A and B are shown apart, each in its own frame.
Chain A
Amino acid sequence: MDQLPNLGREQEMLTEMGMSSLDELFSDIPEDIRRDTPLPLRGPQSEEEIWADAQRLLGANVSLDDRPSFLAAGLARNFVPTMVGMLATRGEFLTSYTPYQPEVSQGMLQAMWEFQTMVSELVGLPVANVSMYDASTAAAEAITCAVRVHRRKSSQNNVVYVSMFVPPQRLEVIRNYTQGSGLEIRILEHLEDGHIDMDSAAEAAGCCAVYVEQPSAFGILDPGLMNLKEIIGEETALIVGVDVVSLGIVAPPGEWGADIVVGEGQPFGIGPTAGGPIYGIFACGERYTRQMPGRIVGLTSDVDGKRAFTLTLSTREQHIRRHRATSNICSNETLIALMGAMHMALLGPRGIERLALRVASATEATKRMVTSIDGIELVDPQAYNFREFAVKLPGQASDALAYLDTNGVLGGFDLGVWWDGMSNCLLIGADERTSESDIEALAAGLSSWLEEADS
């Protein structure tokens, strides 16, 4: 109740209004739909009690920092510089809302304009918005955006191709967001070695959009994707989902034909946070600007000619355009994008390269050590990997993970959960915090699991 400054002054305020009880304020609710009993909930708690309960409950969780962890599957066990959380929770940032009044919101607007610039630089496309909910909704809305731009001129105007190596949950999100516009989602095939099947790609020529990921869900970096735009043609949007950290060393998709780039922004700015709030990045070529979802900040000036920022192109948005809006998105993930901006700014051009190299080499080191174990093979032995790689085990991945768990190692992700027929495959993820002893613990655990299975 310490949140209510007028507690105990109700009568004084009511009297001034010519009323005698709080009930009068609710007299407009018809009697037959009034609740006449108290809410059957627990009693109120003090701040101290809530803190104790929070510590007890959340303390019962096992944090990724408690043990060697190789679980990534689209999120990063990152290290966020201390500065980020401290600055982003300054009340002026934390407790603001959408900057509808630019005159008193220049700070957030400028920070978002800088964010747009850094995302644009990272992916090699000129335009970026201030965030989507996550990588999956960013991918889904990239597809609907592309369809709006290309539907009229494309020869397969009802068709979108999506890589077969997109995680099934992301595909579910894509299906939810696209079913309303009557699109047909076809699957873009990949070869046995994990690389894209160019024959399948050729069939996609002339459809509205092709969505692929670089790296794929298996962490595979496929140089073949660089030829994709040429194959599918000008009137088909190439949408590329990225691991944002990889772009410290991997060529930005905007330089090899991508029309829209999306991805999970989480590695910059915030921990995995049990899946949210995180944020999706969304960047595109100028051809898509007026059809893109989400908020965008533009430069302008005030009446005195002083540099100023403002939200712009709001005529695309639901509060103006209603059912003809490019998206229903209103609340987004700006505060988390702000954290991302701070993290990116602190990394700088050299820092992002070093971070990406660190992740890449941790991936490589883990891969080498794990595949040196007899009986464990890479699913895609020829592939280059970033952050993640898949291995085939002689038994069930779920058994291996349970065994590793009892030995204090979070060993990765059971790919059988995502794809039928892969229940003997383990997706192993490394990151900038992976240490030699972590890798040794994983390898030792896998070895003894294999030995016990043999005996």
Chain B
Amino acid sequence: MIKLEEVTKIYPPDTIGLESVSLHIEKGEFVFLVGASGSGKSTFIRLLIKELEPDRGRIIVGGRDLSTLRRWKVPYLRRNIGCVFQDFKLLPSKTVADNVFYALQVTGNASASARRKVDEILNLVGLGHKTNNYPHELSGGEQQRVSIARAFANHPPLLIADEPTGNLDPETSAGIMQLLYRINKTGTTVVMATHDREMVDKMRRRVIALEQGQVVRDQLRGGYGES
């Protein structure tokens, strides 16, 4: 699903984002990306959606080599990657349903069946009763569930989440994790950057630990801090 070969990203003048990172993530995996702030987690994620370009190395996502992917094809790449962010990134001027619908509209699918699909997904994340609310009328946890619904609307093979629980209390976080877990069960690969120690320890999934842009640990059923 994801393959990095000797990937290096340096922010000018000399801040290291990632340094010679090579790794392989299989289809259907659930991977935690852990590390302190500035360790390279966000750089990793932004490279995957081609929001950034690596200075060296090769990134392959879903069989596509990102370095040779034309600029105009980037939107098509992103439709196959659901993205969830710490700050939700919802369109403030659109209702909950329209936010999710937008992800379908960009693919050219604006049919009545797409509308029904939106309702289904929102029911699935437990927001069936708030479809016509605006994002600012929802709690943080609810907003994050909308953003997960949007990320999953196209049934992408890959879902990446950049600290999705970073702004949420532990109880709400657990609900979000539950949701990501269920999405992973449908066969979607999930990559989640986090520094939620408790969560990682509880889930016992593959953990990739980054430190100053380098992979310092890659453990199949790891915890946050163990080595």
Question: Do chains A and B interact in one complex?
Answer: no
**What is B's interface to A at a CB cutoff of 8 Å?**
none
